[in-house]
Amino acid sequence: MNSKRPVFSSVFLLFMFALVAILWFATLDHNALVRPDEGRYAEIPREMLASGNWVTPRLNGLKYFEKPALQYWLTAIAYTLFGEHNWTARLWSALSGFLGILLVYFTGSRLYGQRAGYIAAMVLASSFLYFAIGHINILDMGVSFFMNLSLAALLLAQRPSATQSANRGWMYLCWAAMALSLLSKGLIGIAIPGAVLIVYSLIQRDWILWKRLHFGMGLSIFAAISLPWFILVSQANPEFLWFFFIHEHFLRYLTPVSGREHPWYIFIPVVLLGILPWIVPLFDALRHGWKSHANPAKQFESHRMLMVWCGFIFIFFSVSHSKLVPYILPIFPALALLIGRRMSTLDGKTLAWQLSPMIPLSLAFWWFAPLAAKGASAEVPAFLYAKFIPWLHAAALAWLIGTAAAMTLARRDRVVAAVSVMAIASLLMGQSVLIGYNALSPASSAYLIAQRIKPYLKPGVPFYSVAMYEQTLPPYLRRTMTLVAHPDEMEFGIQQEPDKWIPDIAAFRKIWVQQPYALAVMSPGTYRQLAEENLPMQVIARDTRRVVVIKPGSSNKQ
């Protein structure tokens, strides 16, 4: 279903993608790293660089095998090239997210026409959840990119117009992308594409495509890319295989061991809110997503593969015992392609109607923004939210003005212009929320308190993390800490190297009083408890979540 309308000029495309790039990358360094995930995934590559060991991932000096190493390597390379900053910690998430936008444009253009590809790219760039995760230092955007690269390569390889040479080249890329998905986050990188292919084949009774998958060379490419690290890390750490494959994959999926249980329907609101402002076009695209013209030759139908991809991933994670919002991210590029395919055929009046619900939603967002302050607590005081709320109002205003302008353009049958304006407005909306969220950084990040600690640090000085672990503190201090009475998520690493932690407060007290100079970080509650026990401590920094002390009577600052 290729659009017959004229293609865009290269100047227009260059301008729009340059504008999206500016709005995508401009504020990457603005926010402090947010606890816990951004701290964790900034610290592991920092420790790789510091130790020179790029095989065994470590968090706070302890073996950490929950995820594969690809993103750690890429972030460590960014640190090497550009230094350790907020933006280099987030660079791979942002870059892979932007590459995903370009991938959707490229794929959509070849499958459904340039108009559909462009609309799909704008939809993806401006979908709220995709934008948000593209600006957070977690692993989900990277694995989503490679999974969707494998999907896009499969779609392009199996399309009826693909030559034998094109089919072979795209399938080789598909196998390589699955290997990189495996190295990004684990078995979902190959299990999900494989399962989707099986489901599609069963529904469509399309067995011919299995002859065009190039299993022999494909498996060789997959193994050459993915196996070396798994072999090396297993040789260096015999305990790796059980923990990574059994505990982190099967037990997490089949049992509540991870403590991330949520209702089966949790991803319904996640998708509906995450696809904003394109919620009505989403329903329209899904309603028409399975339909196709007569296909007596039983040729490969890419839009049905996209539908199976979205449906299977949605069900797969909905039935899992471990559910987190970012897990559903890999369906968003496919949804964008379906929306672009459908929207490229719409007239302007229909598009205007589909965008109209964003007017009341934007007004509701403005009206209810002050309710964010109800999240205030002793750890996140109300005055921090008071600084955040004006940015939420700015975000609502961007959506409101953008929707009104897009609807005006759509009524004049300027569909591409309307989509472009709505996308840019939504990018501004997302940036407003992200910039404003930094107002909460005194509570959500250790950046500020780390600056107050640095003058007291000395080479080799003991630093204890007592009954807590602040994930964002080590990357800003550029050093690890000794855990006390709180294994956090490093329990498996502690089991392998138990001498690297202090198991209880009583043992810590004995060690603390014998130190000539030491630092410790703890919660305000733990500090009060130890102060009541007359443990010698001098406070050098504190905020709503953390109290940092030194051994009194020692030489203080550097």
Rounded to 10 degrees, the C-alpha dihedral 51/53/56/59 comes to 20
Q: pLDDT 10s per residue in the chain (558 long)?
A: 444 455 788 999 999 999 999 999 999 999 999 999 999 999 999 999 999 999 999 999 999 999 999 999 999 999 999 999 999 999 999 999 999 999 999 999 999 999 999 999 999 999 999 999 999 999 999 999 999 999 999 999 999 999 999 999 999 999 999 999 999 999 999 999 999 999 999 999 888 899 999 999 999 999 999 999 999 999 999 999 998 888 777 777 776 666 667 788 899 999 999 999 999 999 999 999 998 766 655 789 999 999 999 999 999 999 988 788 999 999 999 999 999 999 999 999 999 999 999 999 999 999 999 999 998 898 999 999 999 999 999 999 999 999 999 999 999 999 999 999 999 999 999 999 999 999 999 999 999 999 999 999 998 899 999 999 999 999 999 999 999 999 989 999 999 999 999 999 999 999 999 999 999 999 999 999 999 999 999 999 999 999 999 998 655 555
pLDDT reported for residue 554: 55
Q: How would you classify the pairing of strands 463-466 and 62-63?
A: unpaired
Tokens 């993806």 belong to residue? 124
- Distance, in Å, from the CA atom of 370 to the CA atom of 473, rounded to the nearest integer, reads 30
Question: What pTM did the predictor assign?
Answer: 0.94
Is 163 exposed, middle or buried, given 0-12, 13-18 or 19+ CB atoms closer than 10 A?
exposed
pLDDT reported for residue 293: 66
- The gap from C-alpha 268 to its chain's centroid, in whole angstroms, comes to 18
pLDDT reported for residue 136: 96
Name the nearest CA neighbour of 119 among 233, 8, 247. 8
- Distance, in Å, from the CA atom of 465 to the CA atom of 405, rounded to the nearest integer, reads 53
pLDDT reported for residue 250: 78
Return contacts of 508-516, CB within 8 angstroms, 24+ apart: 508/464, 508/466, 508/484, 509/533, 509/535, 512/464, 512/536, 512/551, 515/462, 515/551, 516/551, 516/554
- Distance, in Å, from the CA atom of 42 to the CA atom of 346, rounded to the nearest integer, reads 44
| Amino acid, single-letter form, for residue 108 | G
